[in-house]
Amino acid sequence: MILAGVQMMMLAMLIFTSSPFERTLPNLPVDGADLNPVLQDFGLIIHPPMLYMGYVGMVVPFAFCMAALWEGRLDAVWTRWSRPWALAAWGFLDRLVLHWARGGPITSLAGAVGGFGIR
């Protein structure tokens, strides 16, 4: 029920506040468009899915926590069930942070959009 509530909130935000179809459907290019120069770096291609996996993965421990609070069962059982989900989601986010910390796609990003002074 908690996950369904989160999904409904995200769906409502997508439909009513920031529909991606309103921006792209009226102005479709006839012959298509090439890949955005910013997305030609592997790090920038993998960044959105990894960020998504990390944030969406954190919804499951949130649901376990809210269910435990709702039921009034604040014992160690819900933490045992939510720990693998939290570690997996944290792993995606941590891998992403480590990639950016070692200077991942920053050099390609600077070159792709005109070299705005980063490295």
The domain segmentation of the chain, as residue ranges, is 36-112
The confidence score (pLDDT) of residue 117 equals 44
Low-confidence residues of the chain, pLDDT below 70? 19-41, 103-119
CA 112 to chain centre: 23
CA–CA separation, 60 vs 48, rounded Å? 19
The confidence score (pLDDT) of residue 83 equals 93
pTM for the model stands at 0.61
- Cβ–Cβ under 8 Å, residues 81 and 46: no
